[in-house]
Structure 1
Amino acid sequence: MNPRPLDFPDSPRPPGVPLKEPTRLGPGLLLAVAAGRLRAARPELAARCDLTTPQGLLGARAALAAEAESDQGGPHLVVAVVDRFHLPRWVAETCRFALSVPRERAASWRRDFTRTVFLAGRPDNLAERFAFAHVADDGSAAWAGPAPQETTTALRRLLKTLDASREPSAWSPLTIEIPGPAHGGANRPPLHRDLYIATAQVTISQLLVQVNHLLVEAVLDQLIAPGDRLTLRSVPRLTGLALPFAALRVDADPRRTDALRAYAALTEET
């Protein structure tokens, strides 16, 4: 089952990492952010590993992934079924889904690093067979979980992994408002933040994965709440930006196995 065409608009702050002041992204900061995320999610693992080098950090993550797969029931994960992808709508609906996740499920999901699998499919054709936790109002995407991976085995076997291998085009900055979940709401005044997304040498599939982690963890950390406004900005790379960051998404650079890269950044209130 193939997704419909994907399109873009036309023209967690880890403990101990100071990002509130304008900060230029460099290798040391990227390592500190990635290591801080691992310590926050799995402190018992971090205590056994050398997180002072990218190689040590990536080795710890590989060991963690193998350990999770061997556990009965597997890691907690979310399955996102995508039919049509439009960046502003997807960002808003991703945040809306994350806002609806119950606290106890969010804790288990966070411990498994908010793992999310993206599949190509049409939610409206699947609604009678599978229970989704959230479906976008326009039916463009749906989310199941978070739950142990065995609970979504049938869905994951039915659909193929979303494969969008082209690089996204740059877009003109645009601002969206985060909708609220079906229940609950913000307990603070709305904020405005910038969401910077790197586009150079990043496929749309990679963008989905990386920006998804940033968004859902920012929601769980209450950095994003209903009524907040996000201005979506594209940049070739985040390296060189000097801004007061509230959260960064850092992961391995697929073109350099011994290096890390910043894929997305959420600024402090602007």
Structure 2
Amino acid sequence: MTAAGTAGTAEAAGALGQEELRRAAAARLHRARPDLLDGADADLERLLRAGDALAEEDERDPRGAQAVAVVRSYSPARWIAQACAFGLSLQSRHGAEHVAAWRRSLTRTVFLAGDPRRLQRRFDFHHLAPDGSVGWCAPAPPAATAPLRRLLKTLRASGGVPAIPPTPVRVPDADRPARRAPVRRQLYVATARTPLPRLLVHTHHLLVEAVLDGLVEPGDCLTLHHVPSLGGLRADFAALRVDTEEPSAHGSSAPPRLRAWAALTRGERL
């Protein structure tokens, strides 16, 4: 998909068919950019056109905002916890106008390969994982991170993501107190035909937006499930990450199809 990623909220339990995925994707884009998508029930063609327009706008709009993540290494539970921690840090230590612009850009984030600890003296990392595995520059106009993006290469990896058993992940504490009692949610991530960079993109969108929307709070427990596909799952989903499948999944000449790449279920009190 050449458009910016799409995601949304699922209201009811049930298997995820193309119609459910399209509605979720359209609702998310409509909430962020009603000027690009004039209805939350847009058909797939209109949805893809709106996403393409947003991607082109992000490339040339100096007033837009994007975050940058510099990734040294990846561990599933650590990545989930620190992505949530980054989102929480934006609510207490970053300008609301930049976060609002970032939401309008559908939380666009550039993933670079490097060691953020070695770059701390040269660049301003808003959030750094305690073990230095990943560091984030907060949402800002593209010019603010241009030197860092010129220095490092885009994160690339062709291999798949290994399967892991269900893994509980506690959302880290933040500078602000939790706004409710902790809950447990199931976090499903599709791993079939999912290279690591694509998995990072999808889980990052899902998690930071869930934090900013109040679905994920400090002290929550997210049980991470690596599954080949979310298509056969029946669950009460609170948030979905939806994007098009890779063309090779159904042949290069096949029409675009949507796929649920990651999802959060509704919370249960701990």
Letter matched to residue 27 of structure 2: G
Corresponding residue number in structure 2 for 1:55: 45
Preserved contact between residue 76 and residue 148 of structure 1 (Cα < 8 Å) = yes
Residue pair 1:55, 1:258 contacting (<8 A) in 2 also: no
* Residue 34 (str. 1) matches residue 32 (str. 2): no
User: In the alignment, residue 121 of structure 1 is paired with which amino acid?
Assistant: G
Q: Quickly say closer, same or farther: Cα 1:192–1:13, change in 2 above 3 A.
A: farther
Q: How does 1:125-144 map to 2 (within 5 A)?
A: 125-144=118-137
Segments of structure 1 that go 5 or more residues without pairing to the other structure are 1-11
Distance 1:215 1:251 in 2: 15
Q: Give the aligned partner of residue 177 of structure 1.
A: 170
Deviation at 1:74, TM superposition (A): 5.4
The corresponding residue for 2:3 is none
Q: State the Cα RMSD in Å.
A: 1.8
Q: Matches of 2:48 and 2:34 in 1, distance apart?
A: 16
Matched, 1:225 2:217: yes
Calculate the TM-score normalised by the size of structure 1: 0.89
Q: More displaced, 237-246 or 251-260?
A: 251-260
The 1:50–1:124 alpha-carbon spacing in structure 2 relative to 1, beyond 3 Å, is closer
Q: Is the 8 A contact 2:13 2:237 kept in 1?
A: yes
Alpha-carbon displacement from aligned partner over 1:88-125 (angstroms, at most 9, x marks no partner): 00110110011011333221111100001110001111
* Residue 82 of structure 1 pairs with residue 71 of structure 2: yes
Q: Work out the CA distance in 2 between the residues paired with 1:79 and 1:211.
A: 15
Closer/same/farther in 2, CA of residues 178 and 18 from structure 1, 3 Å limit = closer
1:156 aligned partner, one-letter code: R
- Helix, strand or coil: the match of 2:244? strand
| Aligned residue in 1 for 2:241 | 249
Aligned residue identity for 1:97: F
For residues 229 and 104 of structure 1, the distance between their equivalents in structure 2, rounded to whole angstroms, comes to 30
Whichever residue aligns with residue 267 of structure 1, its letter is: T
CA contact (8 A) 1:51 1:57 kept: no
Note closer, same or farther for the CA distance 1:29–1:50 as it changes in structure 2 (3 Å cut): closer
Alignment partner of 2:267: what SS? coil
Partner deviation per Cα, 1:183-207 (whole Å, 9 max, x = no partner): 1121100010000000111111100
Matched, 1:111 2:100: no
Alignment partner, residue 157 of structure 2: 164
Given that residues 74 and 150 in structure 1 are in contact (C-alpha distance below 8 angstroms), is that contact kept between their aligned partners in structure 2?
no
- 8 Å contact 2:192–2:228 — kept in the other structure? yes
- Counting matched residue pairs gives 253
Q: Give the residue type in structure 1 aligned to 2:30.
A: R
Residue 265 of structure 1 corresponds to: 263
